[in-house]
Every structure is written in structure tokens, then in C-alpha cells.
Amino acid sequence: MSSIQTQFLELTERHARYEAIDPKSELKDSAEGKVIFIAGASRGIGQATAVAFAEAGARAIYITARSEDALKETQALVAAANPQTECAFAVCDVTDAAQVEAAVSDCVARFGGVDAADANAGYLGPWVKIGETDPEGWWYNWEVNVKGAYHVIRFTLPHLIESARRHGSEGRSGGHLILLSSIGAQLVMPGASDYQTAKHAINRLCEFVQSDHGEDGIKCFAIHPGGVGTELGYNMPEAMHQYLVDEPDLAASFAVWLCSGKADWAKGRYLSATWDVIELTAMKDGIVADDLLVNRLRTTG
């Protein structure tokens, strides 16, 4: 794990929800009045994220995925978590621009806007050396993980910008955008060229969103959700399964924390849900001053 450790901050590792990011206690009502758009919310992390925002008092949650039955399950969980939170869904493939645009438009028509968006849909195929890969399978990683994230960005941004302006005038924080990255974005592991390069691109895409729209009030984050034992996670080689030790609601609660305004100072950066947020916040001044947690080419050292 030494190659992994040198890429990350030395903070207390968290593996499940804890007080500082708990939507039902420390972050209670932090999402009050807000509309949350989540792509890839049919199971695992996305489903847990929908529930966490409901627990944090969101006014409405709009969820998308490719399975209607699974979306109905998430909708029921949201209702159980908070009967006051409205929840609607659209069957949607994030690789299809028209479908994503239609889903966002439906969300706005139903609920009046989008205050936070989470591009959670992802894909991880078998790990195969580049010279042995299937070209269509290799590129499909990029279709889902990068093109899909771009579609969510492109069609929610106008509404997120309006949210940032509206909430800013009220002295609150809005206009949050979360992109699902991975610890793999910082690694070079044999056989993972499609997934890890796609997630590396997500980190840079996050920086571009911030560069292009920071003045519009947007706060964008690329996050590693932890090692979660989802179907996607178990597509990794068996030797990697030992690292799947984190609960889905860790990343879900971390997303609520990011959208609460407490982490606006870290906008445009890569963050790990496993990092203790109290310790992370204590490093704020140094991270901002030295422009840390972004991808850069080293030429010395």
C-alpha cells in the first residue's frame, strides 16, 4: 500500500458514517429547502446518497438510473427516511445526452430548480492489459465515467448557477456539484488503464468546472467514495477485495457535508470520503495556499 499512501493525506481513516458528517445530527436540516439531482441512484452509493440527503432535510430529490424497479426501491427508502422529502425519478442512461437533458428538465419542471447535483453513475469492467483489451469495452469506461459525468455537468450547470446566486443572496451556500472519482485516479495498476485513466480525467474535469464557473458560484468536487463492496467494486481482481471495507453511507454522508457549505473552501479539488473532515478542515490554510489535492506534473524532487 506504500504507493497509495504517498498519494494521500495522513488523516484518520473513516469507514462508516460518523458524527461530523451525520445527516441526522451534525448536518441535520443542512439540505433544507434544496433540490438534489443524483445520477446513478439505483443502488449502492447513489442509493445511500439519496437517503442521506433526505435525512438532511432536502425538499426534493430527483434520481436517475437505468432500472425502473431499482429506482422505485430508492424512492421508497427516501420516503421512509423523510416523508417530507419529495422524490421523483427518470429511467436514464447517462451516456445519452438527450436522456440526461430530459431528466434535468423534468426535475426543474417538478421542483423548480437544482441546488446540488451528484454524478454518481459509474462503470468498471474486467482488468485486462492494454494489448489484450476489447476496444469497445475499453472505451465504454470513458463513455459512462467521463461522458456520463460531462452530461450531468452540462445540463445541471445552468440551474446550479441560478441556485448559487439565489442562495448567495440569502446568505446560504448553493450550486454544489459532486463528481465520482476514485483512489484509482492516482494509481497506475496493471490492467486498469481504462478505469483509472477515466477517473484521472474526472479530477481534471472537476478543475475545469471550477475554473470556468467558479465566478458563477459553483463549488465542484471530485471524490473517492472509499472502498465499497458494490457490484462495481467486486469487478476488481480478487486480491483488491480486501480493501472494500467502507460502508456506502460514508460517501453518502460525505456528499451531504460537501453540499452543506462547510467544505466550500476545498472546491475544485480531489477529496477522499475516508478522510476525517475535522482533521481535513484543520489543514485548510495549507491546502489552499499550496494548491494541494489537484493533479500536477512534478519536475523536481
Cα separation of 12 and 276, whole Å?
6
- Checking if the pLDDT of 295 tops 70, the result is yes
Residue with cell string 480478487: 238
The question of whether 219 is a catalytic residue gets the answer no
How do residues 248-291 score in pLDDT, each as one tens digit?
999 999 999 999 999 999 999 999 999 999 999 999 999 999 99
Cα separation of 87 and 266, whole Å?
29
How far CA 172 is from CA of 253, 260, 262, 265, in Å, comes to 19, 9, 11, 14
| DSSP secondary structure of 85-127 | SEEEEEE--TT-HHHHHHHHHHHHHHHS--SEEEE--------
Report pLDDT for 296: 87
Name the catalytic one among 195, 219, 262, 267: 195
How do residues 172-229 score in pLDDT, each as one tens digit?
788 999 999 998 899 898 999 999 999 999 999 999 999 999 999 999 999 999 887 6
pTM: 0.94
In terms of CATH, what superfamily is 20-289?
Answer: NAD(P)-binding Rossmann-like Domain (3.40.50.720)
| End-to-end CA gap in the chain | 21
How do residues 64-79 score in pLDDT, each as one tens digit?
999 999 999 999 999 9
The domain locations on the chain are 20-289
Report pLDDT for 3: 40
Report pLDDT for 169: 73
Q: How confident is the model at residue 4 (pLDDT cuts 50, 70, 90)?
A: very low
CB 223 within 8 A of CB 181: yes
How do residues 161-185 score in pLDDT, each as one tens digit?
999 999 887 777 889 999 999 988 9
How far CA 58 is from CA of 19, 78, 81, 224, in Å, comes to 19, 10, 11, 23
Name the catalytic one among 123, 150, 199, 267: 199
Cα separation of 184 and 124, whole Å?
11
CB 187 within 8 A of CB 235: no
CA dihedral 15, 19, 20, 23 (to 10 degrees): 100
Q: How far is CA 106 from the centre of its chain?
A: 21
The question of whether 284 is a catalytic residue gets the answer no
